[in-house]
Amino acid sequence: MKTGRKSGKPVRPGKPELLAPAGTAEAFFAAVEAGADAVYVGAPGFNARALARRFSWEEIAAMTDYAHRRGVRLYCAANSLVREDETAPAREMLHMIAGLGVDALIVQDMGLARLARQEFPDLRLHASTLACAVNSIRVGFLARQGFARVVLPRELSLDEIELIAAATGRRVELEVFVHGAMCYSYSGLCLFSSYQGGRSGLRGRCVQPCRRRFSWRSGGGGYLFSMKDLDASSLIHRLAAAGVGSFKIEGRMRSATYVETVVRAYRMILDAPAGDRKTLREAAGLLASAMGRPGNSGYLLGERSAGGLINWRSSGNTGIPLGRTMNSGRNVRLRLKTGIAAGDRLRLHREKSGERTSFTLRSLRCGGRETAEAPGGSEVVLPLPVAAAAGDSLYLVDRRGRGSGKKLAAGRFARKVEKVARAFSPGRTETRSRGRARRSPVGKNGLPLWVRLSRPDFLKEPLPKQVSKVVLPLPVSGRGPRLPRFGRGVDVVWSLPVVMDEERSMRVAEAVRLMLDRGQRHFMIAHPGQSAMFAGSGAVLYGDYTLNVLNSQAFAAMRDSGVQMCLAAVETDSENLAQLVRATGPAVGMVVYARVPLFTSRAVDGHLRYGRTFLSPKRESFELRRFEGMTVALPEEPFSLLDRRRELADMGVGFGLVDLRFHRSRRNILAALLSGRGSLRRRSRFNFDAALV
């Protein structure tokens, strides 16, 4: 089925777009009135800010109409990973987006993108920043996949952006974030929130563990991973000259006041001549009043030190600090650092746990009497929606009475929405799967195993007979090592790095050519774009769990790119894995043992202590390591399904991966793990026995 009109117009050459967020109708009106060229909102049920308010289809239709009558574009973000049981409603969502004339859809999940290309070819696609397109090879791949625009990760420098723009030419538009919150982990690689309770950041449910206070087991601690906000206001014209076509403001969880102020500041800068210092000073004053976190230029000027990127000594909350509570309970005393009034939005920050609660102040007492407002310096009593502890912090995050008073005329579009919805045909999406799942006959546990090592000589023991493949890191420097042998019937699979900047991607491409010349044919890719390095080579490609395959359409997209077998996303639960395997057959595998990197960050050194254990507010243990030039955070308890191998085989899973990269080498480690004599008592099931939210 093909439906929908041609939606969206490309940004005019030479005129960069100012793109604003809207998580509420008030923020939408504020963005348009402040001068945004385009506004992005969450698609109902499928956006990476799922904790924000959900718009109805009538509201989406009303915003599209309102924006178009004012020459403004409206984009919908459906940048959440999609479970197998969500593919049918996702297809319906695509139909509604296309039918209502939204200008573009922002997508992370390659399966969702495949569905859109096949059934709604006129729907304009933008690749989400969660697609982690850190180099021109990945950007070029996404352009060939039909994406009209790629949102680059926040971790890139201005020089790297310029190189990517030069390499990709006019094939695809480039969009960058210029203001707002920064994640500690690379875009699309954070599993911390998911690991700590199934609330996946890649599915829009992130509980922001990076904003919490952690302590070192050896003593000390702080807000170790809480990044400063991004403020690229002084670099806008340089970014435009580098080839960026759209400037994006982060903030679908922010207030209308924040959106209006920030959009107005960037509108001033874009409309002024480059280097206009008076305008920059005026814009800086506006941005300082927007109640964001302290900001800097992030990675754009080449900064990589955690000390320069992170406010590790303070909480990093958005808003203006009001003071600390003098007592515990739900009615707290504090001395105000700035004035407040009933109707203001406040946030309580619990210093011990890092948890935050936002609320509207309904009343306050000052001098023993109830009052509508109180000036800075006065001692007040505030009622809270939850109990606080003495010493917790309060922040002012929005002033009352700043909305425009406009309302979305959503009711006027009910008939249009109903008409579009009636035209939807459920149908059956074809994935060309390779047959039904089947049990594997290999080994007493019924599951073929692959073993992943950090180096060829890591193991001090012979491989068990159920091991069919050994995965090793691709050697990137020099002429490559002596090719290892692990016995008859065992293939060596060379894995590509998950993150490669522009310079390293060229070296990796050369290393791939070298290994192909040496007769190596088995490779594991960590990003869909890496498949482009093997075009026409005859190589056998496998997919790492970082491809984030949660549904059969995503697997089909990987197969379309030449991937023969693929690991499912490591954060999947058992129910979703079973549904995925039923749809794809045994070409899908599962990680069965690993210390999974939860953060993978470009921010290094500074206050970070590598090889040390850090503790969450709940005393959960993690280790910080330097890995491939990045910082990774590892759980002390490994993820393990080793005792569930028979269950996985009966489910139809094709193979299991035992990942030993972050283990210390010792004799018979693999035999101990497979026999159950290893540290299986201290292990995590991740989301496998729960439910991935």
- Secondary structure of 217-228 in HEC code, one letter for each residue: CCCCEECCCCEC
Q: Give bridge partners of residue 335 from the DSSP assignment.
A: 379
Q: Is the pLDDT of residue 491 over 90?
A: yes
Q: What is the largest CA-CA distance in the chain?
A: 85
Residue-averaged pLDDT of the chain: 90
Q: Confidence class of residue 50 from pLDDT cuts 50, 70 and 90? A: low
Q: Give bridge partners of residue 419 from the DSSP assignment.
A: none
The architecture (CATH level 2) of 17-182+229-275+410-422 comes to: Alpha-Beta Barrel (3.20)
Question: How do the domains of the chain map onto residue ranges?
Answer: 17-182+229-275+410-422, 320-398, 449-594+638-675
- What average pLDDT does the segment 49-59 reach? 78
pLDDT of residue 442: 44
Q: Is the pLDDT of residue 196 over 90?
A: no
Q: Confidence class of residue 444 from pLDDT cuts 50, 70 and 90? A: low
pLDDT of residue 441: 44
pLDDT of residue 169: 79
Question: 216: left (phi > 0), else alpha (psi -120 to 50), else beta?
Answer: beta
Q: Is the pLDDT of residue 217 over 90?
A: yes
pLDDT of residue 481: 73
- 13 vs 623, higher pLDDT: 623
Amino acid, res. 312:
W
Q: Express as a percent the part of the chain with pLDDT over 70.
A: 93
The class (CATH top level) of 449-594+638-675 is alpha beta
pLDDT of residue 49: 62
Q: How many residues does the chain have?
A: 693
Q: What is the pTM of this model?
A: 0.91
- What average pLDDT does the segment 344-359 reach? 85
Could you tell me the CA-to-CA distances from 16 to 146, 175, 618, 671 in Å, in that order? 21, 9, 46, 59
Residue-by-residue DSSP string for 76-134: EEE-S---GGGHHHHHHHHHHHHHTT-SEEEE--HHHHHHHHHH-TTS-EEE-GGG---
Helices 25-34/256-271 angle, 10° precision: 20
Q: Is the pLDDT of residue 168 over 50?
A: yes
Residue-by-residue DSSP string for 451-494: EE-SSTT---SPPPTTEEEEEEEPP-STT-PPPP---TT-EEEE
Rounded CA-CA distance 183/361 in Å is 29
Torsion angle, CA of 600/603/606/612, rounded to 10 degrees? 0
Q: Is the pLDDT of residue 522 over 60?
A: yes
CA 412 to chain centre: 35
Q: Confidence class of residue 446 from pLDDT cuts 50, 70 and 90? A: confident
CA 54 to chain centre: 19
Q: Is the pLDDT of residue 224 over 70?
A: yes
pLDDT of residue 404: 62
Residues 6+ apart with CB under 8 A from 464: 443, 449, 670, 671, 674
Q: Express as a percent the part of the chain with pLDDT over 90.
A: 76
pLDDT of residue 437: 39
Q: Is the pLDDT of residue 3 over 70?
A: no
Q: Confidence class of residue 428 from pLDDT cuts 50, 70 and 90? A: low
pLDDT, tens digit, 9 for 90 and up, residues 355-384: 888 899 999 999 989 999 999 999 999 999
pLDDT of residue 13: 52
pLDDT of residue 678: 60
**Secondary element (H or E) of residue 582:** helix 574-584
CA-wise closest residue to 453 among 670, 268, 265, 176: 670
Print burial letters for 217-231: b (CB count within 10 Å at least 16), e (below 16): eeeeebbbbbbbbbb
Q: Is the pLDDT of residue 443 over 80?
A: no
Residues 6+ apart with CB under 8 A from 352: 213, 389, 617
Domain 320-398, CATH:
2.40.30.10
Q: Is the pLDDT of residue 9 over 60?
A: no
Tokens of 448: 């073929």
Q: Are strands 522-525 and 540-543 parallel, antiparallel or unpaired?
A: parallel
pLDDT of residue 531: 96
pLDDT, tens digit, 9 for 90 and up, residues 278-332: 999 999 999 988 877 888 999 999 999 999 999 898 777 777 889 999 999 999 9
Tokens of 460: 């001090």
pLDDT, tens digit, 9 for 90 and up, residues 103-136: 999 999 999 999 999 999 999 999 999 999 999 9
Residue 165 in contact with residue 10, Cβ under 8 Å?
no
For residue 134, count other CB atoms closer than 10 A to its CB: 27
pLDDT of residue 419: 96
Q: Is the pLDDT of residue 138 over 60?
A: yes
- What average pLDDT does the segment 534-551 reach? 97
DSSP 3-state assignment of 611? Answer: coil
Same fold, 320-398 and 449-594+638-675: no
Residue 193 in contact with residue 208, Cβ under 8 Å?
yes
Please calculate the CA angle 535-536-541 and round it to the nearest 5 degrees. Answer: 60
Q: Is the pLDDT of residue 55 over 50?
A: yes
